[in-house]
């Protein structure tokens, strides 16, 4: 009982003593952008603190998480590319083994409900388990990673600072990685400042692109997240023999060839495009929607209107849509020092 009273006194001293949060600390407070939907992450179980964030940051950049200590999360998720993989069409894991999908951007994860191209994972905490244990990524076992981290004085101290105990567990490791990724909010593009009336303007062509996008693309790339969070077949293949997409998870033929509609934020930087990284440029993507949408049973109806495949667009319209997509580029995000490699500076 005495400890309870001391604890409560402590709470009050803490709660009453400090008059607001100092500016330095707000860098590690989760802030909801006004034009975003409510966050989906379970912050009540894992509230953000600076020490947990910094632990997550160290883990993200540390190859210790992989079997042969050669590959870090950051190998496949690079900040200059909004944490997507700039180099490989299919991401390469340990021993240079090729994966079968292209690494997407990590941005605005706190607002997402489904992770991976097929939505197989439905909580951010679980995402690293797949990366760490996948033979084609880091090929390590979760329990061994925990053992490796427990052996390190540096990490034991970081866990101690973050969680009040130096005892390493998979849960704390996953919490810390989620903290780091949850804070990766990209909401400061020219588009955002324009839409929030923060003194930004769009050029006439960009504004025209925005209108075109609203009629031709926003059925799927909807809201200010630029995705409606659903799984759809956008006509890349006829059979999807290599990768059946959502059907891998739901085991339902109706979901063959459906993939998560990706956000287009920072799309200028996240090439190559699509789950298999088949397109190198936005021009190629637009050409796909205009001319090479392929028929299959699960093709999205939005891409076959009045019996005609694809989205009707002139070259001029495509160019304007691309200009508009580029207003979604957020250099403040890709240059944000909080997310950079802590081992380099």
Which residue number, 146 or 202, has a Cβ lying nearer to other proteins?
A: 146
The only residue of 261, 269, 293, 328 in contact with ligand HEC, by rule CB under 6 A = 261
The rounded distance, in Å, linking the Cα atoms of 78 and 100 is: 19
Which residue number, 203 or 281, has a Cβ lying nearer to ligand HEC?
A: 281
Q: Is 16 in the site for other proteins (CB under 8 A)?
A: yes
Residues 48-77: x where in contact with ligand HEC by CB under 6 A, - otherwise, as a string: ------------x----x-----x-x-xxx
> What six digits make up the tokens of 32?
């909801």
Q: Is 91 in the site for ligand HEC (CB under 6 A)?
A: yes
Q: Is 49 in the site for other proteins (CB under 8 A)?
A: no
Q: Is 243 in the site for other proteins (CB under 8 A)?
A: no
What string of DSSP letters covers 262-281?
---TTTTTS-SBTTTT-B-S
Is-contact 41 124, C-beta < 8 A?
Answer: yes
Residues 138-167: x where in contact with ligand HEC by CB under 6 A, - otherwise, as a string: x-----------------------------
What string of DSSP letters covers 34-49?
TTSPPP-S-TTTS---
Q: Are strands 304-305 and 231-232 parallel, antiparallel or unpaired?
A: unpaired
Which residue number, 122 or 223, has a Cβ lying nearer to other proteins?
A: 122
The rounded distance, in Å, linking the Cα atoms of 116 and 97 is: 19
* Residue 222 main-chain phi, psi, to 5 deg: -95, 165
The rounded distance, in Å, linking the Cα atoms of 271 and 280 is: 6
Which residue number, 190 or 212, has a Cβ lying nearer to ligand HEC?
A: 212
Is-contact 62 69, C-beta < 8 A?
Answer: no
User: Which helix (H) or strand (E) covers residue 259, if one does?
Assistant: strand 259-260
Q: Kindly state the number of chain residues that form the binding site for ligand HEC, as judged by CB under 6 A.
A: 53
The residues that touch other proteins, with contacts defined as CB under 8 A, are: 1, 4-5, 8-9, 12, 15-16, 41-42, 45-46, 116, 120-126, 129-130, 133-134, 141-143, 146, 169-171, 174-175, 178, 248-252, 254-255
């Amino acid at each position: 009982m005495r400890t309870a009273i001391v604890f409560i006194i402590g709470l009050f001293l803490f709660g009453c003593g400090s008059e607001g949060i100092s500016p330095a600390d707000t860098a590690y407070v989760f802030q909801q952008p006004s034009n975003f939907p409510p966050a989906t992450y379970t912050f009540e179980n894992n509230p953000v603190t600076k020490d947990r964030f910094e632990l997550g940051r160290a883990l993200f950049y540390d190859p210790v998480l992989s079997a042969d200590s050669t590959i870090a999360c950051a190998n496949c998720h690079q900040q200059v590319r909004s944490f997507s993989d700039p180099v490989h069409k299919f991401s390469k894991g340990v021993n240079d083994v090729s994966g079968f999908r292209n690494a997407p951007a990590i941005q605005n994860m706190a607002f997402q409900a489904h992770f991976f191209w097929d939505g197989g994972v439905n909580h951010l905490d679980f995402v690293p388990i797949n990366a760490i244990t996948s033979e084609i990524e880091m090929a390590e076992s979760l329990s061994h990673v925990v053992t490796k981290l427990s052996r390190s004085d540096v990490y034991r101290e970081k866990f101690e600072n973050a969680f009040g105990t130096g005892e390493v567990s998979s849960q704390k490791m996953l919490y810390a990685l989620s903290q780091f990724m949850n804070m990766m909010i990209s909401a400061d593009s020219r588009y955002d400042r324009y839409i929030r009336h923060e003194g930004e303007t769009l050029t006439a062509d960009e504004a025209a692109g925005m209108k075109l996008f609203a009629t031709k693309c926003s059925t799927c790339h909807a809201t200010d997240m630029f995705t409606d969070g659903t799984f759809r077949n956008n006509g890349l293949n006829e059979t999807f023999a290599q990768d059946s997409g959502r059907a891998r998870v739901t085991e339902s033929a109706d979901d063959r060839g459906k993939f998560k509609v990706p956000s287009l934020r920072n799309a200028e930087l996240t090439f190559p495009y699509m789950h298999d990284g088949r397109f190198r440029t936005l021009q190629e993507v637009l050409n796909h929607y205009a001319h090479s949408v392929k028929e299959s049973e699960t093709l999205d109806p939005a891409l076959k209107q009045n019996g005609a495949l694809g989205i009707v667009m002139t070259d001029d319209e495509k160019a304007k849509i691309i200009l508009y997509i580029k207003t979604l580029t957020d250099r403040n995000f890709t240059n944000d020092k909080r997310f950079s490699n802590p081992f380099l500076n």
